[in-house]
Structure 1
Amino acid sequence: MKVIKFGGSSLAAGQPFQNAIDIINADPDRQVIVTSAPGKRHSDDTKVTDLLVKYAKLTIEQQSTAEVVTTIFKRYLDIATYFGLEAAQISFIKNALHQLPEVTYPDNHYLMAAFMAHGERLNARLMATILTHLGVQARYVDPKEAGLLVSDEPNNASVLPVTYDNLARRSFSPTEKLVFPGFFGFTESGQIATFSRGGSDITGAILARGLRADLYENFTDVDAICAADPRIIPDPLAISMMTYREMRELSYAGFSVFHDEAIIPAIEGNIPINVKNTNHPDLPGTLIVPDAGFEPTRTITGVASSNRFAALYLHRYLLNKEVGFTLKLLQILYKYNVSYEHMPSGIDDLTVIFDKSQLNDVTIKDMLADIRQTLQPDTLEWIDDYALIMVVGEGMREHVGVIDKILAPLADNQIGVHMVNQGASRISIMLGTRQSDAAEAVKQIYYQFFIQEHLLIS
C-alpha cells in the first residue's frame, strides 16, 4: 500500500486535479491520498489558505466576511464544475465555511488554526466527492475519525504517539481510496491544531508510518530534488536517490522541496519516500531511503545555503578555564526564550549562531546588554550578515581531503569562511560566510564536485 500526497499547486484547479486523479488511478496500490489546500493557479493568484487567513482576521475584527467567503467557495466550485458537478452537490463546502465563525474557540490562535485547516479539509472532501462521481470507490476520512491527535499548540502542533496506535487499528477495503486532509489534527480536548506551514507533508509521513505503507509518494511541482538551488545553478543535477539524513541536512539549509520536519515519522517507520512531479509522473523523481545499506555514487549529494541566520561572536581570554561560562550564557538565552543553532568555540572564542526568525531588534539589544553585564567579554560582536552553507553527502565518509576540496575554490575566489564545522556523522560540513558570498560559494563548491570531479573521473 502507498500513501500519496499532493501539494497545493497540484490541486489548484480543475486540470491539475485531473492530473492528480490520473496518478491515483494509474496504480491500485495508491490507496491513501493526502490533500493540500488549493494553491496558486498563476503568479498573481492567492492561495486558498491565505484567503482563509483573511477570513479569520475579518471574523476576529467583526468585519464583513461575505466577499471573502464567496471567493473561497468559488475556488472549490470552479474545480467541481470542471468535473461536471453543480453547486448544490458541494453545498457542504459553503455550509462548512459559514459555520466556522459560529464555533466557540479557546482563543484567537485556535480560531486561526481552525480556519486555516479548512483549506485542506474541504479539498479532501471535494477530492472524495469527485472520485466517487467518477466511479472510484473513495471515502473522506477526517483526522478526528482517524484518531490523529496532536499537542495543544494551535499553529505549531506535534503528533502524539497515541496517533500511531489509533491508525494501526484502522481497517479498510483493498479497493477503497481513503482521502485525508493534510496539515492538521485534533487536540485531546477536541480542538483543531495545525502543523507548521507546509505540514501536509507531515500528515503524509504520519499516515505512512501509522498505516505501515510500503512507500510514501510526495507529488509536487518539480521533477526531482536537485543537487543545488536552480536559482543559483542553472539546470543542476537531479538527485536520483538520497538518505533520510542527507535530506534533513539539506532541508535545514534551504532545500524547500520538502518540509524539513516532514520525514521524521517516515524515518521512525522506515518508510521510503519518493518525491515526484504531478505534471511528469512517469519520471523517477528522487527516492529518499534509510541509511542502512545505502551505497553513495558521489562524494557529495548536494550543497545548499540559507541567509536566515545571525551570529554572536564573543572573545574572552582564558574562556576555556572558566567553569560555568557556557552555562551562564545559556541561562541568558533561556531568559529571553531564544534557542541557538550552533555554538563552535575555541580556547578564547565562542560563536553562537541563531535563526533570525525568532529574534527582533529589542530582544537582540536586551540580550546583548545582559551578556555584557553578566559575562564581561573582551569583545562582543553581533553579526547580522551571516549565511550557512551545508555540503552534504554520505560519500564524504569514504574520501580523504573533502574539506580541502571545499575550501580551495573559495580561497581562490576571495570568499571568506568564518566558520567550519563537520557533523559527528561525517556526512555534512557546515560553513559560515557573509550573505553576499553565499551564492558564489555554492557555485564554486558545485563546480568542484559536480563538474570538475566528473571531468576527472571521465
Structure 2
Amino acid sequence: MKVAKFGGSSVANAEQLRKVGNIIKSDPKRKFIVVSAPGKRFKNDTKVTDLLIQLGNAYHNQQNYEVFLVAILERFQEIINDLEIDLSLLSEIENNIKVALRVEGKPESKMDAIKAIGEDSSAKILSAYLNQNNISAQYMNPKDAGIFVSEEPGNAQILPESFELLYKLREKDHILVIPGFFGYSKTGKLVTFSRGGSDITGSIVAAGVKADIYENFTDVDSVYSVNPNIVNNPKEITTLTYKEMRELSYAGFSVFHDEALIPAFREKIPVCIKNTNNPDAPGTFIIAEKEASEKCVVGIASDTGFCSLYVSKYLMNREVGFGRRLLNIFEDEGISFEHAPSGIDDMSVIFRVNNFTKDKEKIVVDRIKDELKVDTVSLHRDLAVIMVVGEGLVNTVGVAGKAASAFAKANVNIEMINQGSSEVSMMFGIKDTDIDAAIRSLYQTFFE
C-alpha cells in the first residue's frame, strides 16, 4: 500500500493534474493521495496559497480584496474548465472562501481557514477528475480522516490519537484524496501546519495507515548532492538515510519542509521522492539505515541568514552552570538557538537572524554583561552555514581535512566549525558572500 503526495507544481494546472491522474491509475497500490494547493504554472506566477494570504490580509485591513478573490477563482475556473469537470464545484469553492472570510475569533484562526482553501479545493477537483475517468475516488476531509491537531494557528502539531483513527481508513475501498496542510482541533477549529505543511500531512497519513512506502511527487527527478543553482549538473543521490535527509533539509535543501518526514521516520516507512513530470525515473529513496561506504559524504547543503554571538570569560570551564545561565537568558527572551560550539574560555551561540532581531540584541548583550560578568561579548551577522553530510562521517578518516583544504583552495575563511555534536554532519560557518565559491570547491573535492 502506498501513500502518494503531490506538491504544488504537480497540481498547478489541468495538464499537471492529468499527469497525476495517470500516475494514480498506473499503480493500484496508490490508495491514499495527499495534495497541495496549486503552485506556480511558470516562473513569475503566484501560488494560490500566496493569493489566499493576500486576500486574507486585504480583508482584515478593510482594503479592496475583490482583486485577489477574482484571481483565485480564475485559477480554479481554468483548471475546472480544462478538465471538463462540473462547474458547480467552482461555486462551492467561492462559497467556501466567503465562509472562511466570516470565521469568527482571532485573526490567525480566520487566516488558517482562508489558507486551507487551496489544498481543500485541489483535493475536491482531483477527486472529481478521477471519478470522471472511471477511477473510484473519494474526497476525504481531514476531520473525517481523523487528523486532529493542537490548537496552534499556523503551527499545528498532530495529536497521538490521530494515528489510530487514520489506520481505520485502510478499510475503505475507494482511493482517498485528502487535502494537505491542515487538520482540526478537538473543539472543531480548522488549524494549519507550518508552511510546507502538505508534506507533513502526507507523512502523517503514511504513518497512520502504516503504508509500505510514502511517495512524494515533486518537480525534480531526485535529490541532488548539492544545490543545482550553484553547481551545474550535480550528481543525484539514489539513497539517503533519515538522519542524512534531516541534516540536509535543515541546512537549505528545499525538497522537504524541515520537519515534514518525522511521522514517517518514526514508523520507519521508506520515502521515495519522485518527479510528476518523469514518474518512471527511480527517484531518491530515504530509508532508516544503509550500509557504510568509503565515500561517506552524500550531500553538501547551505543556508544563509545566521548570526553568531561570541562570549569569552577567563576560566569559564571552571564556572559551574555558566552555559546553563547563558542559555537561560535566551530562553527568557524567547530566542531559540541553532548551534553552541564552545572552548575552555569561550562559547559561541548561533541563531537564525529572524529569531535574534536587532530589538533583542541590546537586551541580551546587556544581560550577559551584567549577569555573567564576561570579558568579551560580540555579535557577528551575515553568516552562512554549510553542512557536509553523510552517515559514518564521524568514523571516516580525513573528511575534515579534505573540507578544510577545499575552503582554503576557494580562499574562504572558516569562521566556525562544529563537528562533534552530530555523527552524520560537519557544520562550517562562513561569511555569506563566500557561499558559492565554498560550495563549488567542496563539491569538486568530494564528488569530482
Q: TM-score range by the shorter chain?
A: over 0.9
Q: What is the CA–CA distance in structure 2 between the aligned matches of 1:164 and 1:345, rounded to whole Å?
A: 41
Indicate if the aligned counterparts of 2:392 and 2:423 stay in contact, CA closer than 8 A.
no
Letter in 1 for 2:380: I
Letter paired with 1:243: T
Shift of 1:89: 4.5
How is 1:67-216 mapped onto 2 (pairs within 5 angstroms)?
A: 67-104=67-104, 106-174=105-173, 176-216=174-214
Pair 1:446 & 2:443 matched: yes
d(CA) in 2 for partners of 1:171 and 1:448? Answer: 48
* 248, 256, 259: which one aligns with 1:258: 256
> How far, CA to CA, are the matches of 1:418 and 1:103 in structure 2?
49
1:270 maps to 2:274: no
**Following the alignment from structure 2 to structure 1, what is the Cα–Cα distance between the partners of residues 156 and 253?**
22
Question: What's the Cα RMSD here?
Answer: 1.5
Q: Aligned to 1:150, what secondary structure does the other structure show? A: coil
Question: Retained in 2: the 8 A contact 1:385–1:434?
Answer: yes
Indicate conservation of the 8 Å contact 1:272/1:290, yes or no. Answer: yes
Using the alignment, how far apart are the partners of 1:398 and 1:64 within structure 2?
60
Partner Cα separation in structure 2 for residue 357 and residue 223 of structure 1: 32
Shift of 1:325: 1.6
1:327 correspondence with 2:324: yes
Q: Give the drift of 1:324.
A: 2.1
Query: What amino acid is the match of 1:372?
Result: K
Distance 1:18 1:248, change over 3 A: same
For 1:118, give the aligned amino acid: I
Q: Does the 8 Å contact 1:299/1:449 carry over to 2?
A: no
Q: In structure 1, how many angstroms separate the alpha carbons of the residues matched to 2:427 and 2:191?
A: 34
The match for 1:454 is none
Indicate how the Cα distance of structure 1 residues 424 and 101 shifts in structure 2: closer, same or farther if over 3 A, else same: closer
Deviation at 1:222, TM superposition (A): 0.9
Cα distance between partner residues in 1 of 2:395 and 2:381: 36
Report what 2:241 is aligned to. Answer: 243
Percent identity for Structure 1 against Structure 2: 43
Cα distance in structure 1, aligned partners of 2:428 and 2:119? 38
State the number of aligned residues.
Answer: 448
Unaligned ranges ≥5, structure 1 = 452-458
In the alignment, the residues of structure 1 paired with residue 443 and residue 366 of structure 2 have an alpha-carbon distance, to the nearest angstrom, of 41
**Aligned residue in 2 for 1:456:** none
How far does residue 179 in structure 1 lie from its aligned partner after superposition? 0.2
Q: Secondary structure at the match of 2:228?
A: coil
TM-score (normalizing by structure 1): 0.94
Tell me how far 1:368 sits from its aligned partner. Answer: 1.3
Q: Secondary structure at the match of 2:110?
A: helix
> Partners in 1 of 2:2 and 2:285 — Cα distance?
14
Cα shift readout 1:210-238 (whole Å, capped 9, x = no counterpart): 01111111011111100001111111000
Secondary structure of 2:171's counterpart equals: coil
- Partner of residue 380, structure 2: 383
Match of 2:50 in 1: 50
Alpha-carbon distance between aligned partners in 1 of 2:330 and 2:292, rounded to the nearest angstrom: 41
Cα distance, 1:144 vs structure 2:
0.7
1:455 corresponds in structure 2 to: none
SS of equivalent residue, structure 1 residue 394:
coil
Distance 1:32 1:64 in 2: 39
1:314 is matched by which residue type in structure 2?
V
The residue type paired with residue 331 of structure 1 is N
